[in-house]
Structure formats: structure tokens, C-alpha cells
Amino acid sequence: MLVAGVVLAVLVVLGVALMLFYNALVRGRNLAEEAWSGISVQLRRRHDLVPALISVVQGYAVHEKDVLSAVAGAREAGMKVAGGDARAVGEAEKGLSLALGRLLAVAEAYPELKANENFLHLQHSLTELENDLQMSRRYYNGTVREQNNRVMQFPSNVVAGWFGFRKMEYFELSGEEEAAAPKGFPVA
């Protein structure tokens, strides 16, 4: 009778531990998915702002068609991978950031454009979006780090393996020059 009670107590403790580890893994995955949703919202806002920026610059910089088409192409590439995995989205958005940096550098050559109220407003909005995107990226990467710790650390890694939880990808930029705001962005 005593042995049966001890075995039952051990099984209950193991069952509760299993439930706690499983719930922590589910909570971590849900937080990371929510954080990714925040990044998606910021990227959508960024993609929506680009056509207006191109339109304003196009009116002044008629000889810069290659830069304008590069920005439009990078935006389209970003929109195609939206909702994809972190690596594919990161690569597409890196291309858009570089293209926007070139666009803003071109704008420096047109004093009338730099003084245009619409351009200044769009440039300010883009800077705010870049800051919001950076904060969303940090939050997402923090939730992914916590989830990856759960997936890799003992004993929750055993539960993660049983239920198919895998490491998640960070949303990273590949170089320091890409992590900085593109040249031409005003400092907020």
C-alpha cells in the first residue's frame, strides 16, 4: 500500500511537471507568434508608405528612374515574402532598407525636394516606422530567445522533443551597416 502511494505520488508529480513544461512551451511559442505579428504590422505600414515617398520624389528627381524602380521592386519583393519565415523576410527587408537609403541619398541632391513639406513628413514617418520596427524586432528576438532556451534546456527539452517544439529563427540583419538606419534618415 505504501509503495503504491509513493508510485502514485511520483506519477502525479511527473504529470504536473509535464503539464507545466508543456504549457510554458506553448506560452513561449504564442508570445513569439504575437511578436512576429507586431513586426508584420510595422512592415505593412512601411510598405504602404513607400509608394507615397516614391511619388513625391518622382516629381522632383525625374532622372533617377533606376533608384525609384529599385525601391518599388524591393517593396514588391518584401510584400511577396510577408508572412514567411524570419530569414526570407529579413533578406527582403534588407533590400528595401538599402534601396530606401539610396532614394534618400538621391533626395539630398534636390534642395527643392528636401524643402518639400510632404517629403519631410514622409521622411519623418519613415524614421518613426524604422524605430518602431527596431523595437518590434527586439521584442520578437527576446521572445524567440526565451522560447529557444525552453526548447534547449533540460528537462523542458525532453518535453519539447516529445511534442515537436523546435528552435525558432531570429529576425536579424546580417551586418552592422544594415542594422543602422540607411544614410539620409534623419536622426530621431
DSSP 69-132: HHHHHHHHHHHHHTTS-HHHHHHHHHHHHHHHHHHHHHHTT-HHHHH-HHHHHHHHHHHHHHHH
pTM: 0.82
Residue with cell 533590400: 95
- CATH fold for the domain made of 18-179: de novo design (two linked rop proteins) (1.20.1440)
Q: Could you report how far apart the first and last alpha carbons of the chain are, in Å?
A: 71
Predicted confidence pLDDT, tens digits, the chain (188 residues): 899 999 999 999 999 999 999 999 999 999 999 999 999 999 999 999 999 998 888 888 877 888 999 999 999 999 999 878 898 999 999 999 999 999 988 888 888 888 888 899 999 999 999 999 999 999 999 999 999 999 999 999 999 999 999 999 999 865 544 445 444 544 43
- Domains of the chain by residue range: 18-179
Q: Reduce the DSSP state of residue 67 to 3 states and report it.
A: helix
Closest CA to 152 of 132, 169, 166, 137: 166
